[in-house]
Each structure stands twice: as C-alpha cells, then as structure tokens.
Structure 1
Amino acid sequence: MSMFITDPARRTALAAVLAASVLSACSLMPRSAPELDLPQLPDSAAASPAELDRWWESFRDPVLDGLVSEALARNTDVVLAASRVQASQASLDLVRVNRLPDVNVSLQGSRAQYSNERPVPGRSRQYNTVSGGFNASYELDLFGRLSGQRDVARQVLASSRYALEGLRASVSAQVARAYFSLRALDADEALLSQTLVTRESALSLRDKQYAGGAISRYDLELARSERASAAAALAATRSAREQAETALSVLLGRTPRELVEKMPDRGLALSVLAVQPEIPAGLSSDLLTRRADVRAAEADLAAASLSVEVARTQWFPTISLTAALGGESASLGNLLSSSARTWNVGAAIAQPLVGLLSTRALVAQSEAQRAQVEQTYQQAARQAYADVLVALSAARGARESLAEIENLFDATRNARDLAEKSYEAGRSSRLVLLDAERERLSAERQLISSRLDRVTALVNTYQALGGGWSGSIESGADEALENPPPAAAAR
C-alpha cells in the first residue's frame, strides 16, 4: 500500500496548506516606540565611545583596574544577571523548538483474551498485538501566533542582555566610588594619626612644664583636650575605613574567608587621582543609545507590543497537520513487514467559541501592560537626560569647589606657620597658635573631602553618559552566555 497522495485534488489542497505555512513565517510587527521630545544636540558634545567603554582606566590606577575586573567577574548581582540572560536564551530556544514538527516514536505490545461469551470462529481466544511507528504533528502558523511568541522571546532576551550590561556598568561605578571613598579615608586616617602624634608630644611637653610651674592648669587641660579631640576623630575615621574595606570586599563578591583575611589593595593616592582631567562631556544626540537601561526599556516595550499582537491571534483558529507511519502485527518479527504497515494523515482546525471572552480580556490586559511599559520607557529616557544634567552640574561644582578649597588650605597653612613664628617670638598667645592649627587641620580634611567629591563626580558623569559598556550586546552578552562568570559555579 502506498503512503503517497496520488489524488490531484488532495495534492492541490495540501500544496495550498504548505504555501500558507510558508507565508506564516512572516513575523508580527510591533507598534513602534513613541516619539520622544528630544533636544537638538551635536554628536561631538560628549565623550567618544572609546573613552566611555572602560572609563576607569583613564585614572591610570592598576589597582582600580584590577578591582573593577574582579567585581565584574564575581559580583553576586552580575552573576545573577548573567544567569537571567541564560534563562532568557533558554526560553527563546524553547519557543523555537515549539515551532518545529512534533515527532514521536512508539512501540507497544499487549496480550489479551476474548470473553467466553463472544467466541470468534476459527480464532484462538488469546491473541498478541505488537504495534509501533512514527507519529508527527505540526501546527501551521497562519496567523503569526508562534512567530510572534518567538519575537517576544527575542526581545525579552535583548532586554536581559541590556540589563546585564547596565548592571555591569553600575557595578564598575560602585566599585570606583567605594575605592575612592576608601582612599579618602586612608588619607584622613593618615592625617589624623600624624596630628595625634604631634598633640601627644605637645601634651607630654605640657605635663613637664606644668610640673615645673612654667604653665597654668588651664594650658595643661587645653593640651589634653586637643589630644583627646584628635584621638576621637582618628578612632571614628579608622572605624569608617574598616567598614569601607568590608563594603568594598562584599561588592567584589569575595568569600567570607576573604572578607576576614584579604583586605582590598591600595593604589594611587587620592591627591593624584583627583588630578584626573575633565571629561569632554556634554549632552549628545546618541545618549539614549549609550544608556543600557534605556535600551532595556525599549526592548521591554517591543516585547509588550508584540505580546498584544500575539494575544490578538487567539481570535483566529489553529490548524494542525498530523501523520503516522508504523506497523501492527501479532508478533514482533513481522512488525516491519509490508503487510503489517499502517499509516494515516490528517488535519484539524479548532476555532475558539466560549474562549472568545477570555481572549478579549487577554488582549485588554496586554494593551494595559504595554501602556505601563511605555510609561517606563519614557521615564527611562527622561531620567537619562536628567542624570547627565545633574552629573555635569555636580562635576562643575566639584571642580570649582576643589580649586577654592585648595586656596583655603594654602591660606590656613600659611596662617599656621605665621602663628607659630609669632608665638615663638612671644608676640601672640598659645591660643592663637592652637586656633591656627585647628583651622589648618579642618582645611586639610576639607581638601580630602573635596578631592573625593571631585573624583566621585567624574565617576557619576561617566555613568550618566552611558559609560562602562561597549554600547552593543552582540559581543559581551554572547560571551556571558557561553562563558558565565566562574563565581556562578562556585555558588
């Protein structure tokens, strides 16, 4: 018995169905993203992509470079984001597989006995049945439901990839800020340690002078208060530095043992880092393409738009083709013989009736979700421009403030030197010198804080401009999928 279709009419019908299935490969077209009211800006206003990609290297601190690399490989949030990308990729693969024909192979056997009440003349009451073969079914995607689901999965994957790149950019900025804060605390601790040594020496001298009757009790207590003030400030700064070390280690994704035994390395001094030149920064027309969070929101919007179209395909019927080829025999040895061969082909169409009400609700739900995602996209775009404006303002203010604080420090240092000479010459009291020393110490601590503000503002500007990633998900995300961070296996 031939399993090929010989009837011309049936051949024509089958050809029409196959042609329709080919046409169904066309994907649903999502509604385009809403137009944004963007300013007209030149492309040359901001830093180049090369300057933004690995911006932390512009500080020329190998220790900072190593810390960022360590965080990008081991940070828990980065590892989780990479896992979400892998999950999205698996979901896309699953949707793609669902578009392929479903093919199964089966083999089954049974032994049965007829009832004594239903004798079959010429046949034994007991008999064997062995059957097996191939079964295939295929849903024709005439209305784009399956291709739409595939396109939704693609956009979800793109969103997860952009989210991964955005998180990597955020973590690199967090590491830089934490490292700079640690270097500022190092500088403050060193300054206060030196101050404490000086004031302890002064207190020792005052003790001897008081014992000899050279100074009053007031002068002695004043020296004690100065020493206690420096010691208290040093203790607080040392505690803050230890907490900053722990926070940075956690950000780097280090193990509990490493948190205890391995402190973050130190590189360039804050005074050197703060000399970093200005970023050629400004608002650029390609800002939205540089921001990974905006790109992720755009992909989410595309996925939501496609989901609306996929929901609308539920109004239309589903058409499936089925086919089977196999055999049935009383013994396994004859199962493959031509006389035991069986086959069938068929088609099925299903049109929802009662389910139309649920489809209407599903479409309405999808449209409402798309409206929400559209607002999220517009907010992401607004926030991107706001971040740059705030960062540029903060960077300008930090630069101008640092220049004035440097002038203040120079003035207080000179004033302290003059007060010391005046005191030694007997032209002024000890109180004048102490006031000058306090002013110099306060100015130097302000200088450390201002330098920290300066480098932090640079980091924030780089981040606001979309720095910390290449601007494309093609290479970095594929690498993350194929080579997940080693910490993922450790956890």
Structure 2
Amino acid sequence: MKSKLMRPTLLALLVAAGLAGCATTTPPALELPTPQGETAPAELGQWWQSLNDPTLNALIDEALAHNADVLIAIESVGQSRATLRQAKVALLPDVNATLNATRRNPSDETSQPGQGGTSNVFTGGFSVSYEIDLWGRVWKAKDAALANLLASQYARESTRSAVAAQTARSYFALLALDAEEALLTQTLATRDEAYTLQQKRYSAGAAGEYELKLAEAERASVAAALPQTVAAREKAEAALAVLLGRSPKAVIEGHVARGNGLAVLAKAPEIPAGLPADLLTRRPDVRQAEAQLAFADASLDEAKRRYFPSLTLTGFLGGESLELSDLFSAPARTWNIAGQLLQPIVGMAKIDAQVDSAKASRNQAEISYAQTARAAYGDARSALATHRGAREALIATEARADAQNKVKELADKRYKAGVSSYLDQLNAERDRLAAERDRVSALQARLNALVDVYQALGGGWSKEALAKAD
C-alpha cells in the first residue's frame, strides 16, 4: 500500500527533474564595436558645467529637483524597492499571533460522550508557516524584483538625463529669442530714423513718394515681426518654468534668469575625436533595457519552477480551552507540527500558460534590448554628424554676417555720398538683418547639437549619482 502511495510523488519528482533542465539561455551577444581605449570627455555626468554658465547650472539643478517627470520616476523607484522588500520577506517564515473563539453545537452523530450541547472553544498562540525553497522559485522571484528595481533606477536616470538636456535646449531657445528681440528692436529704431528722414526729404522735395513708401514698408515689416518674437519669448519662458517644476504663480509670472549669451556659450570645449565605443553601453536607457531583460529571465525561471512540488511546514504553539480565562493555563497548552508536499496536477495547464507568457515577455525584452543598443549607436553617429555640420555652418554663417555688416556700412557711406540709391541701402540692411538672424539660429543649433552629443554618449548621469540617490 505504501508503495502505491509513493508513485505519484516519485512521478512528480521525475517530471520536476526533467523540467529543471529547461533553464533560460543567455541572450546572444550584440555585435558592438571593440573599445579602443581613447579618453572620454571629462565629467559626462554633469556635462552642462563645461559651458561655464552658473545660471544654466542653477536651472538644471532646479529642474532635476522639481520636474514632475523626475519626481514620478523617483516614486517608481520607491515602488520597485517596496516590491523587492516583499520578495525578500517571502524567504522568511510566516509567523502570526492568533486568537480564535468558536461557539459550537455538535450533532448527535459527531458529539463525544459527555460533550453534548452548546459550548465555547477558545484557541490562541503562535502559528508558523514556511515554504522550503527546494527549487529556488522564491529566490528567483527575489532576483526578478531586484532586476526590476535596477531597471527603475536606470529609468529614473534616463529621465534625469532627458530633463537636463531639455532644460538646456529650452534655455538656449530663450536666449535666441532674446537676441532676436534685441536685434529687431535695434533694427526698428534704425527704420524709424530712416522713415523720419524720408518724410523730411519728401516734404522738402528731395525725395519722391516711392522712397517714402519704401521706408514705411520696411519699417512696418520689422514692426510686425517684433511683437511675434516677444510673444514667442514669453511663451518660451512659460514653457521653461513648467519644465523647471515651478508653482502656477511662477509660471504665470514667467521670469527666468539669464546668464551668458549664445555667443559666449558657443565657445564651449569641442567633443574630442575617437571616443571609445563602449562609452555608449553606459547610457541609462541601454542599462535599463539590460536590467529589464534580466528581470524577464528571472521571471521565466520563477514560472518554470512552479512545475516542481512545493514543501510547506506549519506549526502551532498555544492553548485551547472551553473558557477564555483558562486559555493560557498549563492544562490548555497544545502544539502541532505538519508538513505538506504539494504537486500541481490539473493546475499544470495554468502553469503552462504562465510559462508561455513569461517566455513571450522574455523574448520581447531581448528584442527591445538589442534595438535599444542599436538605437544608441545610431543616435551617437547622428549626433556627431549633426554637431560637425552645425559647427561648420556656424563658421560660415558668422563670416557671412560679418561681411554683411561691412556691406551695410559701405552702403550707408555710398548713399550719403550720393553714389548709390536708397534701394541699395535698404537691400544691404535687409541682408544684414537676415544674416544676423541666421547667426543667432546657427549659434543655437551649434549648442543644441553639443547637447545632443552629450546625451547620445550617455551624459547627464553617473554611477556615483546613482549610488547617492539610493
């Protein structure tokens, strides 16, 4: 008889042993370039300090402390950390203090001699339940929670990196609008003087209506562009205030401090050539994808171990009596110890579905990891190319602006000397204004390209900052 009872358990153990061989395989290595060991840019973690603008540093610090997306990411880390604590507690015995009161009236069929009628039964003490982790299922659940915590930490650092970069870009856009507003204001003042002069010349008969209307039209074109630029600047200030996580009142007021101008900021150090390829593997989004793959691996292993039988030990130490006052007396003392070996049979189909779901999640995580790594190298190549183009474009644009300023100066002299017409002077002024506006755009593009490179290389966070935050 004993032999027959042992057969299901032995069969279950053999099935479990066979399934134990179905371990999760390590994902194939990605084809990444071989590191060459060149020196990387100093202090990628806080790349904005290389721009030497205390105002920008303060704005980014403010954003990292108060931006809503950063705060949400921090709370997500806290949630993942709590999940890890739950997984660790599952490795410990479950101990509870219990106190039960039962009023019963057994039937004539089940009552013992001398115990008929209604009675009260009180039970109290300590109960213990512990699942012996024979197959490492609970440990795998803990490993999965740990990987999930790491992924959430890298997600937080990825958010911080993105917020720092966006703050810098928004600040550059604001400085560009400031420069354009100043340029248009100065130009409008010049056009006002020119229009007033043409009015006087027209009244004196020294100029025709054509010159007068031409001066009026040129003044009106600048006067129309100026309020649009002012509105864009106010909109940019409000958007930056929201990005910084400021209060609604501060957003309405919209004032954002300014530091160095675009021309000063654009003198930032160049990106060194020949960066090591493994620099990109430090990007927080790549690390996050890697941690998510580890989480999926551990989750799949944990799901497979549900096929195995579970062994649970339970115990109770306390008292049992018919009167509450006698519950903890010596005669009422009671204890028990029990063990349970549970092997899923009908529930195998449910476990099959859970394993299939975990496999699909793991495969998705592997594909996502590979794609994130590819995208990192694509971002770096694109950012470096854009930076090179922006730098060369800025050199050419500045040369053009300097030349157009000289042309305007010569055109003014020629007009006053009567050598050239007023139309020639206006054309020179139009070209100068367009060249100066292009200079502002080129300065902004150069700085944005620099930010893109730092972000593509994984700038904006560091392992030290990760350790301090935790």
> Fold-level match, TM-score > 0.5?
yes
Where does the alignment leave 5 or more consecutive residues of structure 2 unmatched? 1-21
- Would you say the 8 A contact 2:123–2:321 is kept in 1? yes
Where does the alignment leave 5 or more consecutive residues of structure 1 unmatched? 1-27, 479-491
- Would you say the 8 A contact 1:290–1:471 is kept in 2? no
- Give per-residue Cα distances to partners, 1:68-106, cap 9 Å, x unaligned: 011001111101111110110111111111222111111
The answer for the alignment partner of 1:441 in structure 2 is: 433
The answer for the alignment partner of 1:147 in structure 2 is: 139
The answer for the alignment partner of 2:98 in structure 1 is: 106
| CA positional deviation for 1:118 | 10
| CA positional deviation for 1:370 | 1.1
The answer for the alignment partner of 1:47 in structure 2 is: 41
The answer for the alignment partner of 1:19 in structure 2 is: none
The CA distance in 1 between the partners of 2:191 and 2:404, in whole Å, is 18
The answer for the alignment partner of 2:30 in structure 1 is: 36
Bigger shift: residues 36-45 or 452-461: 36-45
| CA positional deviation for 1:124 | 8.6
Change (3 A) 1:71 1:153: same
- Would you say the 8 A contact 2:234–2:254 is kept in 1? no
Task: Please tell me whether residue 207 in structure 1 is matched to residue 199 in structure 2.
Answer: yes
The answer for the alignment partner of 1:66 in structure 2 is: 58
The answer for the alignment partner of 2:226 in structure 1 is: 234
The answer for the alignment partner of 1:247 in structure 2 is: 239
- Would you say the 8 A contact 1:47–1:281 is kept in 2? no
- Give per-residue Cα distances to partners, 1:91-137, cap 9 Å, x unaligned: 11111112221111112335556789999876795544322111111
TM-score (norm 1): 0.87
| CA positional deviation for 1:290 | 1.8
The answer for the alignment partner of 1:12 in structure 2 is: none
- Give per-residue Cα distances to partners, 1:384-424, cap 9 Å, x unaligned: 11111111111111111111111111111111111111111
Change (3 A) 1:203 1:391: same
Bigger shift: residues 143-152 or 33-42: 33-42
Letter in 2 for 1:83: E
The CA distance in 1 between the partners of 2:155 and 2:406, in whole Å, is 52
The answer for the alignment partner of 1:177 in structure 2 is: 169
- Which SS does the other structure have where 2:339 is aligned? strand
The answer for the alignment partner of 2:18 in structure 1 is: none
- Which SS does the other structure have where 1:427 is aligned? coil
CA-atom RMSD in angstroms: 2.1
| CA positional deviation for 1:208 | 2.0
Letter in 1 for 2:187: T
- Which SS does the other structure have where 1:278 is aligned? coil
- Would you say the 8 A contact 1:63–1:266 is kept in 2? yes
Change (3 A) 1:376 1:415: same
- Would you say the 8 A contact 1:33–1:298 is kept in 2? no
Bigger shift: residues 353-362 or 338-347: 353-362
Bigger shift: residues 467-476 or 307-316: 467-476
- Would you say the 8 A contact 2:132–2:311 is kept in 1? yes
The CA distance in 2 between the partners of 1:119 and 1:406, in whole Å, is 104
The CA distance in 2 between the partners of 1:122 and 1:59, in whole Å, is 93
The answer for the alignment partner of 2:13 in structure 1 is: none
The answer for the alignment partner of 1:24 in structure 2 is: none
Letter in 2 for 1:452: Q
- Would you say the 8 A contact 2:157–2:461 is kept in 1? yes
Bigger shift: residues 171-180 or 208-217: 208-217
| CA positional deviation for 1:297 | 0.0
TM-score (norm 2): 0.91
- Which SS does the other structure have where 2:38 is aligned? helix
| CA positional deviation for 1:365 | 1.9
The CA distance in 2 between the partners of 1:105 and 1:448, in whole Å, is 73
The CA distance in 2 between the partners of 1:341 and 1:34, in whole Å, is 61
- Would you say the 8 A contact 2:160–2:460 is kept in 1? yes
The answer for the alignment partner of 1:7 in structure 2 is: none
Task: Please tell me whether residue 416 in structure 1 is matched to residue 408 in structure 2.
Answer: yes
- Identical-residue share of aligned pairs (%): 49
- Would you say the 8 A contact 2:38–2:275 is kept in 1? no
Letter in 2 for 1:165: E
The CA distance in 2 between the partners of 1:254 and 1:447, in whole Å, is 32
Task: Please tell me whether residue 358 in structure 1 is matched to residue 358 in structure 2.
Answer: no
Equivalences for 1:284-295 in 2 at 5 Å?
284-295=276-287
The CA distance in 2 between the partners of 1:270 and 1:422, in whole Å, is 33
- Give per-residue Cα distances to partners, 1:154-173, cap 9 Å, x unaligned: 00000000000011011000
| CA positional deviation for 1:276 | 1.2
- Would you say the 8 A contact 1:162–1:473 is kept in 2? no
The CA distance in 2 between the partners of 1:223 and 1:119, in whole Å, is 115
| CA positional deviation for 1:254 | 1.4
Task: Please tell me whether residue 219 in structure 1 is matched to residue 211 in structure 2.
Answer: yes
Change (3 A) 1:216 1:238: same
Letter in 2 for 1:238: V
The answer for the alignment partner of 1:407 in structure 2 is: 399
Letter in 2 for 1:42: Q
| CA positional deviation for 1:211 | 2.0
| CA positional deviation for 1:371 | 1.1
Letter in 2 for 1:153: A
Which one of 306, 312, 319 corresponds to residue 304 of structure 2?
Answer: 312
Change (3 A) 1:43 1:127: same
- Would you say the 8 A contact 1:72–1:172 is kept in 2? yes
Letter in 2 for 1:345: I
- Would you say the 8 A contact 2:157–2:466 is kept in 1? no
Task: Please tell me whether residue 345 in structure 1 is matched to residue 341 in structure 2.
Answer: no
The CA distance in 1 between the partners of 2:180 and 2:111, in whole Å, is 104
Letter in 2 for 1:241: R
Change (3 A) 1:368 1:120: closer
Letter in 1 for 2:315: A
The answer for the alignment partner of 2:17 in structure 1 is: none
The CA distance in 1 between the partners of 2:133 and 2:366, in whole Å, is 28
